Homo-oligomer: A and B are copies of this chain.
Amino acid sequence: MAIIVQKFGGTSVANPEKIKAVAERVMKLHRQGNKMVVVLSAMAGETNRFVDLAKQMQKIPDPREMDVLLSSGEQVTVSLFAMAVKAAGLDCVSLLGDQVKIKTDTMHTKARIKSIDTDRMCRYLDEGKIIVVAGFQGITEDNDITTLGRGGSDTTAVALAAALKADQCEIFTDVEGVYTTDPNVCPSARKIDRITYDEMLELASLGAKVLDIRSVGFAKRYKVPLHVRSTFTDTEGTWVVEEDKSMESMLVSGVTYNKNEARITISKVPDTPGTASRIFTPISDAGIIVDMIIQNTRASHLTDMTFTVPRTDYDKAMEIVEKIAGEIGAESVTGDQQIAKISIVGVGMRNHSGIATTMFHILARENINISMISTSEIKVSCVIDEKYTELAVRALHDAFNLEKENQPEEV
């Protein structure tokens, strides 16, 4: 008797008919003897409606109250889902964030899960009940509602799967799985059958929208086999799993891009110990996540510091940085919101040199200038001018032969 966690996004539960279809799918697996835990998002469109309402009340809506508002959306879908299952004669119970005791930190609108209490869920599963959990939401120590930010329902699903030691966690979405790159940008993009947690982590953090990065992190840490698939077909999607030998033959698994970042540069910063800390502590305290950081040393103990932040946090970050720049005696602060980060990812890179060089070469051939570079064991990222994004993605996808299932050993 397997424990299966299934997560369905907003387009999968957009109206009563679709909720019933999802219930049918879940009940089928329940009838086959599986213990089912379902995580739902709000109906597609609800979150936008709430954001619109909130903005009519307050220019920058209060984060605590925003979470109270947003979390009501999942409350609607889980209760309707439970009714649909009960109407079909099976037992089902809905649980909200506070009822599962999904404890988070207090960072409203992008909280992180600290713990989950499985007692109540295990009791219900033993009683043969299907459990439907409101995704995206948690609760602080003080019983305040929090939400987990973009893709939060994925995180809820994987965290539940980890806590319940589920046999698998299926993320249902409106695409067929994880692709070698965005099919809208590159027509030869191919669905990947199997991918490692590490590759998926890099892809997710680099802009692939199909899975939230925190959910992949959870899945990796607790070794939860993750299956990303379409709500609207029975086709297998992409399995995100632990690495095995066969995967290393793939030099590059995917090409990804991210247009949601902005660049900030502080010029001529006095290069003394503690400077980086003075710059980044207040940014981090404001809940802004800094991605790439590059520091170039100049002559006479001065340095230039460049980093990227989410584009939505750009104004707030600039305000903070301009204040600090004055305090630490930096010369100037400049920024650019029209950037894109292009990345290639693959576990095969570990054992092969020259992948980064190939990437730089291809971008140069297309006359695309690189303004920042960052690398890890299994990825290379370049920041370029936003307008070259699609061109760069297609050129790299072609150069690394990603349209083919089995790539040559070397390119």
Contacts and interface: CB of A to CB of B under 8 A. Distances in A.
A170 to B, nearest CB: 23
A406 interface: no
A53 interface: yes
A75 B58 CA distance: 17
A87 B75 contact: no
A58 B87 contact: yes
A94 B64 CA distance: 9
B69 A86 contact: no
A91 B99 CA distance: 28
B83 A54 contact: yes
A183 interface: no
A340 interface: no
With most chain B CB atoms within 10 A of its CB, the pick from A16, A76, A98, A143 is: A76
Nearest to A59: B87
B79 A66 contact: yes
Contact of A68 (B53, B69, B75): B75
Contact of A65 (B54, B59, B86): B86
Interface string A303-327: 0000000000000000000000000
Contacts of A50: 76
Contacts of A61: 83
B69 A53 contact: no
Interface of A: 16, 19-20, 50, 53-54, 56-59, 61-62, 64-66, 68-69, 71-73, 75-76, 78-84, 86-87, 93-94, 96, 98-99, 143-145
